[in-house]
Amino acid sequence: MAGKRLYELMTKRGGKASDYSDVVFGVVSSASPLKVQLSNSMVLTDDFIILGKHIGKFKLKGKTKIKTTKDSDLQGDMVSAEYEFDNSLKAGDKVTMIRMDGGQQFYLFERLGEDGFGF
């Protein structure tokens, strides 16, 4: 029943398939300036790409457990820390994006590793 209703809503809206959001895959052809090739004839520039929070260099706050000698006052304590990650894009990286309605903007949210998952 829910599938039928969803189908009705999608077909009622009308338009072409490119008018809707979609998941697309591409390959970074240049990191600076950023260019992503979607197909043989379509290359996106950074004007059309919105980078996700975890693409590029970023920092995350967290806690870590300290292991020290038994004479230390910090033995086994949790200490706040800030971790820096470098998930910058390089030429040849495979990426996953969401094409937004209308196809004018692409949200790049993931770089695929060799196994097809994450980095």
DSSP H helices in 1-119: 2-13
Q: Kindly list the domain boundaries of the chain, sorted by start residue.
A: 20-56+87-112
Phi, psi at 34, each rounded to 5° = -70, 130
Report the amino acid identity of residue 59.
Answer: K
The residue-averaged pLDDT of 20-28 equals 86
pLDDT of residue 8: 79
**Tally of CA atoms within 13 A in the half-sphere of 89 that contains its CB:** 29
SS3 119: coil
The residue-averaged pLDDT of 79-90 equals 90
pLDDT (tens digit per residue) in 47-71: 999 999 989 899 999 988 877 666 6
pLDDT band, very low/low/confident/very high, at 82 (cuts 50, 70, 90): very high
Q: Which residues contact 74 (CB under 8 A, 6 or more apart)?
A: 66, 68
Tell which CATH architecture fits domain 20-56+87-112.
Beta Barrel (2.40)
Report the amino acid identity of residue 58.
Answer: F
